[in-house]
Structure 1
Amino acid sequence: MIKQFLKHRWQRVIFYTVLVIAIVAILLTIATNLFVVPALQNKLKTSIRESSDSLYIVNYNDADISLLQGNITLTDATLKVDSAVYKKKKSEGTAPNNLYNVSVKQLRLTGVKGLKLYFSKKADVGKIVLNEPEIEMSYEANNPEDSASRDKRTIWQRISKSLQSVQVGEILLNNLKFKHVNYARKKPLTTVVKEVNLRAVNLLIDSATQADTSRFFYCKDLITEVSNYSGRTGNGLYTYALKNIKFSTRTARLNVQGIVFKPHNSLLFFTKTRSERFNLKLDSLNIDNFDFTNYYKYRTFSASKVTLSKGTLDVFGAPNKIPNYTRENVGSFPHMAIRKLDFGLKIDTVSIKKLHIIYSELNNDSKKKGTLVFGNTAGQMLNLTNNKAALKRNNLARVNLTTYFMDRGRLDVRFVLNLTAADASFSYKGSLGPMKLSSLNRAIMPISMVKVTSGVLKRFDFDVDANRYRAKGKMTLLYNDLNINILKLDDGRLKKKGLMSMMANAFIIERNNPDEPGKAPRSANITYVRPVSYPFFKIAWKTLFAGVKECAGVSEMDEKKANAKMSEGDLEKQKKKE
């Protein structure tokens, strides 16, 4: 039958052509398995060792290589640190800050041009897919800057003897599990992230790209996305959750959606700590021009802009806090806190949009909670940095905020913070617009045991210069028809003290400012000496409160006299009852 099929010339040509092709394919396969495959495997391992200066070792259990199809599959592949080499580099002062251990069940390479690699020493791959990889990254502050490394060669210079170039069109890491251990802290901090997808685009290592600063790890873009990330703080007091995190090295933009930071157990919180309780919800946080390279290498946070949008910050003062009146608390000053950070910080602008801020405190006398509200807060913070070079150019941070005090009166305030002054100097000025003074009752009734029964604020202006030792400034409070009640706790309820309320309205406060239309209003020039234990916002508030009292006509001497008369009145009232 074969003879009948081959009796025509064209049939014999086709048959022998196919036969030659098959024989050549078989010979190529044999040659590949005997010579090319071992060479490729050896070249892969050699290239990794050369590019990492012998720090990393690659291993895998099995390699399925098909050069004709351009596919390579590695199973149970690992990239591990050579501990002996790392120990030597550490003793020499050349060890890197970041180390990696990578394991992957299956690594698939498609579109591999094997002959090009073998004959031209150019690795050209269409796509690399890593399924269910696990990456463990550790950080230790071995070197504060690149100059600590003796080997100044780029990765291409290190591998150029074995490879002329490496090019990969796309790298996909699907369902990545990432573990990070920070050994730079007193106690190692471990973070585990699951549900991570990573995509690297157009990786190219050659003589041209070795100095290309637009690439990250030689990639045109590296896109990382994390979904449903949650965890618990190291002290166990708080839980946090992030709905989505996305970062692109090409755009240098980090976007975080759905941020929740809350106490693990609100009811038992103050049985475990004497610190304030925080509760934060934020729709989004965007970071522009995030310098990921410096953060990755040295844990230096640098960005042109950070934007916080639509959220609530709820702070509850610790009711069980034991005051230490002799302990210096200047660390609570924001600019001093920036100075003492254990990492580098450089943010040009922090933009706040529609943030609702609530501060509450429990009064032990009234057994009730007083609350301050700053609604719909928006504004900017400029030049937040501890970078030495940046501070030489500009050592002032500025904060410009607009908010609605007690959700009523518009408050515009501007802070200027000296980031380098030894006395932690700062200034603040602003104005509070019209509002009913009874809106303050939510705050002052439980805390001060005072209720405003009538009164309208027209305007409150203040301008204060301060430092860690004292505050000095001028304030003007314009208002009409002020009347208050002094309160007492009776059977769990706050009730009016009739005599004391009458005495307060008669002898302490002035009903209006100015007293009459056309008269000059009362202003207050205040000098307030800071007790060393007072934190930043307490010294700011106490200074303003001293000015408010003086504008309301309450001098220190008048207050003492009135208190004495109130005490006498209470004593007479008690005698009549007896």
Structure 2
Amino acid sequence: MRPVWKWVLGIISALLIILLCVVWYYSRNWKPIVEIKLKEVVHNSTDGLYALHFDDMDLNIALGNVTLYNAELRPDSAVYQKMIATKDAPNNRYHIKLKKLKVRRFNLMDALTNKKLDIKSITFEDTQIHLMNEYHAFNDTVRTTPKKSLYESVKDLFTSVNVTDIIVDNVKFKYSKYADGKETGIDLDKATIKVHDVLLDETSHQDSSRLFYTKMVDVFIPGFEYDLPDGYYKAKFKSLRINTRDQNVLMTDVVYEPRMSKSSFYKQKKQNVTMAILKFDTLRAEHLDFRQLIDNKNTIASVVQLKNGTVDLFADKRYPKYPINKIGYSPHQKLLRMKSLLRLDTVLVDDVTVTYHEMSGKYFREGSISFNHVNGNILNVTNDSVYLKKNKYMRADLAAKVMNAGLLHAKLGFDMLSDNGTHTYSGTLGAMQAPAFNRILRPLLNVEIASGNIKKVAFNMQGTDHRNWGDFRFDYDDLKINLLNKKNEDGEQSSKKVVSFLVNELLINDSNPDKKGVYTVAKVNYRRVPEHTFFKTMWQSLLDGIKQCAGISKEREAKLMGVAETGKNIVEKGKDIVEGAKEVGKKAGNFIKGIFKKKEDDSDSTPQIDDKKKDTPKKDSDE
């Protein structure tokens, strides 16, 4: 028996040696054939636009492994210019360099006999990708002949190509956009890309579960900062995760802010425009349609979430404001004017604080008003005419703490198909102390609320491009106002007692219901100033309701002006009293007109007392 086993072992050993020799022989002799074929496939499938180059190739037929060293996919600029002339050039070109390209576990015999190429994995090492974008108008027109698909480019060689996994680690990505002879770009370092289940066959391009022939593309970018082309702002984030299978996008530590300091921003702008700083811990999109986004630049998602963030808006009234007609440019009307389609079923606002800051042009101090911990949702955010025919209303339901004190709950509705900007807004403000508003009144108006208990505010309003109307209720008591003197050398500030007394006794009802038990419900009918923004008009309408509930009428304004002038004549003999009385007519009248009736050049959301500068028209403006 022993000789038999010796013969068996000898035969097996011989066969293995022969097999290894065959593999070695074919690996060596097929290597130039494979090299030529690879370059030929790349050239033919891209109509000569790209050429594949590499220093060396390691081919192991037995294991089904191929490794390319120092590989490069290089676009041919001469061919690209010819394609532009024939209107066949794509908008995007790629220049790819990599240290190693590893192809693992492919079946060469199956590829040769059945024309089916199955690959376990492809790995890119030390990759550099340069994407060059150059817009061509002819790509927006309808082509007389359809573009050749990727499958049509390789079908003469393979009937199907399947790759289980593609991994690109630590890729350096550069994006260059060429327009009007200028180049702008974005650079990313250390991005990671994973692609799963790539299938290229006769039907895969019609598979709705695949994006660009893949079941999943997962992209992770650890950090990014980009200077916007406007020269004023930059955007950055800590991390970005994109997953096409889950249809999710997740960004963390997202920031949109000026590239310079606030003072430099306004010195360069030379006008009172809104400066914005936006910061969010999390910005997330769910069920984002990547196919629509890539193919048609349409943004369609079921949910977008803004979580744990701040929105700071700044105005500086030391600089002139150049108003323009804002009729027809409310937020929902701007949404309809967007060139690209936007459809978001729900926008979730989760713990976001919105603060408006304004630098006074008279007192050179900054005041602010805040809406803390905003939570809620905005529904049906879209300019899709098909969807708007089914539901024409965009609605918002939001809650916040005003000055981090009183709870504000507001609901807004926008008729997206209305020709005149029809909208509604209603809400309630819970109990809070009125002096909380001194954070904005003292710096901007030199006025303070000495006392006041706000019990409840409720409003139910309707509006169009030209008018706002509705009911306004304001329940309060113990309301007292102090008009302030300028600060002395020690930084202390006292009140103007005479004028403050006149305002409190003759102008303002200190409670609603008043001392006689009469309860006032305001009937607002406010006509919009064309140069005012949507939100400023909303504020002015609510302010009209506050005035009515506080008992302020034009007759009371005139009465106070007369009493103030009489007081001035009586106290002329005393120098200090004279100076105080002079302020009565000016300050009290301006106070009435300012705090309860904003002037044309006031900020979009903050009342002013007496900024007498007249706006002059100019083409630039800011919402």
Structures share a fold, TM > 0.5?
yes
Distance apart, 1:378 and its partner CA: 0.5
Aligned to 1:537: 535
Counterpart contact for 2:328–2:421, Cα < 8 Å: no
Change (3 A) 1:481 1:383: same
Change (3 A) 1:176 1:490: same
Distance apart, 1:161 and its partner CA: 1.9
Listed one character per residue, the Cα deviations across residues 378-437 of structure 1 (whole Å, up to 9, x for unaligned) are 111112222332333333211111111111111111112233434333221111111111
Instruction: Note if 1:403 corresponds to 2:400.
Output: yes
Change (3 A) 1:86 1:213: farther
Greater Cα shift, 409-418 or 95-104: 95-104
Listed one character per residue, the Cα deviations across residues 235-256 of structure 1 (whole Å, up to 9, x for unaligned) are 4434443222111111001111
Letter in 1 for 2:213: Y
Greater Cα shift, 273-282 or 179-188: 179-188
Instruction: Note if 1:566 corresponds to 2:581.
Output: no
Give the one of 264, 271, 283 matched to 1:268. Answer: 264
Distance apart, 1:30 and its partner CA: 2.8
Q: Which whole-Å CA distance do the structure 2 matches of 1:256 and 1:72 have between them?
A: 37
Counterpart contact for 2:74–2:96, Cα < 8 Å: yes
Instruction: Note if 1:254 corresponds to 2:249.
Output: yes
Give the one of 56, 59, 76 matched to 1:65. Answer: 59
Give the one of 169, 173, 177 matched to 2:168. Answer: 173
Change (3 A) 1:51 1:301: farther
Give the one of 295, 298, 301 matched to 1:297. Answer: 295
Listed one character per residue, the Cα deviations across residues 107-160 of structure 1 (whole Å, up to 9, x for unaligned) are 111112222222322111111111121222244364787964732664334422
Change (3 A) 1:367 1:566: farther
Give the one of 3, 20, 25 matched to 1:25. Answer: 20
Distance apart, 1:231 and its partner CA: 3.4
* Secondary structure in structure 2 of the residue aligned to 1:439: helix
Greater Cα shift, 252-261 or 133-142: 133-142
Letter in 2 for 1:165: S
Distance apart, 1:186 and its partner CA: 10
Aligned to 1:515: 514
Aligned to 1:495: 494
Give the one of 461, 466, 469 matched to 1:469. Answer: 466
Q: Which whole-Å CA distance do the structure 1 matches of 2:568 and 2:340 have between them?
A: 58
Q: Give me the TM-score of the superposition, normalised by structure 1.
A: 0.90
Counterpart contact for 2:319–2:361, Cα < 8 Å: no
Gaps in structure 1 of 5+ consecutive residues:
1-6
Q: Which whole-Å CA distance do the structure 1 matches of 2:281 and 2:410 have between them?
A: 25
Give the one of 450, 454, 458 matched to 2:455. Answer: 458
Change (3 A) 1:269 1:341: same
Aligned to 1:4: none
Counterpart contact for 1:366–1:446, Cα < 8 Å: yes
* Secondary structure in structure 2 of the residue aligned to 1:132: strand
Change (3 A) 1:94 1:450: same
Listed one character per residue, the Cα deviations across residues 464-522 of structure 1 (whole Å, up to 9, x for unaligned) are 222332322321211112111122323365431111111111111111111257x4521
Aligned to 2:415: 418
Distance apart, 1:162 and its partner CA: 1.3
* Secondary structure in structure 2 of the residue aligned to 1:329: coil
Distance apart, 1:554 and its partner CA: 0.5
Greater Cα shift, 391-400 or 287-296: 391-400
Counterpart contact for 1:182–1:190, Cα < 8 Å: yes
* Paired residues, number: 569
Q: Which whole-Å CA distance do the structure 2 matches of 1:52 and 1:574 have between them?
A: 93
Distance apart, 1:9 and its partner CA: 6.8
Change (3 A) 1:97 1:520: farther
Listed one character per residue, the Cα deviations across residues 21-48 of structure 1 (whole Å, up to 9, x for unaligned) are 43443344333433x4344334434444
Q: Which whole-Å CA distance do the structure 2 matches of 1:85 and 1:336 have between them?
A: 45
Q: Which whole-Å CA distance do the structure 2 matches of 1:148 and 1:382 have between them?
A: 38
Counterpart contact for 2:318–2:359, Cα < 8 Å: no
Letter in 2 for 1:190: G
Counterpart contact for 2:328–2:465, Cα < 8 Å: no
Change (3 A) 1:106 1:331: farther
Instruction: Note if 1:224 corresponds to 2:223.
Output: no
Distance apart, 1:343 and its partner CA: 3.1
Change (3 A) 1:561 1:160: same
Change (3 A) 1:243 1:194: same
Change (3 A) 1:265 1:401: same
Change (3 A) 1:556 1:355: same
Q: Which whole-Å CA distance do the structure 2 matches of 1:261 and 1:181 have between them?
A: 21
Q: Which whole-Å CA distance do the structure 1 matches of 2:283 and 2:453 have between them?
A: 38
Distance apart, 1:543 and its partner CA: 1.4
Q: Which whole-Å CA distance do the structure 2 matches of 1:143 and 1:572 have between them?
A: 82
Instruction: Note if 1:480 corresponds to 2:477.
Output: yes
Give the one of 67, 85, 101 matched to 1:107. Answer: 101
Change (3 A) 1:435 1:244: same
Counterpart contact for 1:47–1:163, Cα < 8 Å: no
Change (3 A) 1:105 1:573: farther
Letter in 2 for 1:121: K
Listed one character per residue, the Cα deviations across residues 257-285 of structure 1 (whole Å, up to 9, x for unaligned) are 22233343435332223432322322211
Change (3 A) 1:470 1:176: same
Distance apart, 1:16 and its partner CA: 5.7
Q: Give the root-mean-square deviation of aligned CA atoms.
A: 2.9
Change (3 A) 1:480 1:537: same
Greater Cα shift, 391-400 or 361-370: 391-400
Instruction: Note if 1:196 corresponds to 2:195.
Output: no
Q: Give me the TM-score of the superposition, normalised by structure 2.
A: 0.83
Aligned to 1:525: 523
Counterpart contact for 1:96–1:143, Cα < 8 Å: no
Letter in 2 for 1:268: S
Counterpart contact for 2:373–2:400, Cα < 8 Å: yes
Change (3 A) 1:212 1:485: same
Aligned to 2:239: 244
Instruction: Note if 1:576 corresponds to 2:574.
Output: yes
